[in-house]
Amino acid sequence: MNKNYNDLALAILRIGFSGSMLTHGIPKLAKLTDSPIEFPDPLGVGPAFSLILTLIGEVVCPVLILIGFKTKWAAIPAAITMLVAAFIVHAPDDFGTKEKAILYLVAFITIFLTGAGKFSLDGMLSKK
């Protein structure tokens, strides 16, 4: 397959999944203004810290992945967040409920393994 198609496929994967993830993360930003912060604490680190970790995995890292900057590094916290969502937060739920988190997990692992491709900031910066 032509390398350009591979890079286009990576761009579609990055933009599609990270853009979609933002629809889950951005609404959680409003929870930062709650006093006290009420948020699930699946790892036992406190609701405020759990919210911050979730926002890193669902907002900060997806923005980096979307633009393709430090993509492999950004995919790690995003994948860990989805791992926690699928197998800890939604552990007792049926597969249909946790399926979305598993799909995001698979996508972020794939992005970590492949990198951003040439249609990204990482790709443009590596040419220099």
Per-10-residue mean pLDDT, the chain, length 128: 80 97 96 91 94 97 97 98 96 95 98 94 84
Structural domain that includes position 62: 3-126
Tell me what pLDDT residue 67 has.
96
Tell me what pLDDT residue 71 has.
97
For residues 91 and 26, what is the distance between their CA atoms, to the nearest angstrom? 24
pTM across the whole model: 0.91
Tell me what pLDDT residue 22 has.
97
Tell me what pLDDT residue 1 has.
52
Cβ(56)–Cβ(75) below 8 Å: no
Q: Which helix (H) or strand (E) holds 24?
A: helix 3-25
Number of domains in the chain: 1
